[in-house]
Structure 1
Amino acid sequence: MTIERSGSTDRMSKIVKHNGTVYLCGQTAGEAEWDICEQTRQCLKKVEDLLEEAGSSTDHILSVTIYVRDMKDFAGMNQVWDAWVADKPKPARACVESRMARDSILVELSVIAAEK
């Protein structure tokens, strides 16, 4: 079976496609001046762009794992998420509190989607 990788570095690939499934690397938007709402919006925009590049779309998202640095930001992240997903098919979702690679990162999204 063929595995396609794009946006690869020495550490990872931004997009991996296999057997009709698209896997995105974790998306972050850790500008220190952005709050949880803006970081979530920016992450979701990155997800949209990468899915388009991969030949998929937000309507084809199967699963999302959301990592938040602090659960005190859960409500703010959900406010943005709920507005974004309101008119879309709802994916399976998990959300956990997690230590991030940098202090400025408040949220990270890991996405699995089907190809169109």
Structure 2
Amino acid sequence: MIIRKEVNSRMSKIVEHNGIIYFAGIVPDNTDMDVQEQAKRVLEIAEEKFVAAGTNKEMLLRAEIYLKDIDRDFANFNKIWDEWVSNENPPARACVQASMSSTSTLVEIIFTAVKI
């Protein structure tokens, strides 16, 4: 059985199958900020989505991180990430540079987690 949440004509923002939860890319809802503030907001939004999906950051399997300018923003992003991520249960992670859907978006993260 597949459960889809926050569905529109283009996508589902949360999809659950066999106890695994897949989240669509999460971007900040305010892009008039630097990468650290955008990262904080993305992680706040992520935690709201985790609750809606029945999981939490301790149950993360994978994080795919996209930065608009990895050379400029990698270290500053990691300061926020390192404060947020579980030290006991960190997910597998990739961090790459990518063109974004808007010119002012500096970070996007895709998560995969296990349902609690």
Query: TM class by shorter-chain length?
Result: over 0.9
Stretches of structure 1 lacking an aligned partner (at least 5 in a row): none
Contact 1:30 1:106 (C-alpha < 8 Å) held by counterparts: no
TM (norm. structure 1) is 0.95
* In 2, Cα distance between equivalents of 1:34 and 1:88: 30
* In 2, Cα distance between equivalents of 1:7 and 1:33: 25
Q: For 1:96, what is the secondary structure of its paired residue? A: strand
Q: For 1:7, what is the secondary structure of its paired residue? A: strand
69 and 30 in structure 1: CA distance in 2 versus 1, 3 angstrom threshold: farther
Stretches of structure 2 lacking an aligned partner (at least 5 in a row): none
Q: For 2:105, what is the secondary structure of its paired residue? A: coil
* In 1, Cα distance between equivalents of 2:26 and 2:90: 19
The aligned amino acid for 1:12 is M
Q: What are the residue-to-residue correspondences of 1:1-116 with 2, within 5 Å?
A: 2-29=1-28, 31-71=30-70, 72-116=72-116
Aligned residues between the structures: 115
Contact 2:31 2:106 (C-alpha < 8 Å) held by counterparts: no
* In 2, Cα distance between equivalents of 1:97 and 1:7: 27
Give the drift of 1:14. Answer: 1.1
Give the drift of 1:36. Answer: 0.1
The aligned amino acid for 1:55 is G
Q: For 2:99, what is the secondary structure of its paired residue? A: coil
* In 1, Cα distance between equivalents of 2:107 and 2:29: 8
The CA RMSD measured in Å over matched residues stands at: 1.1
* In 2, Cα distance between equivalents of 1:14 and 1:78: 25
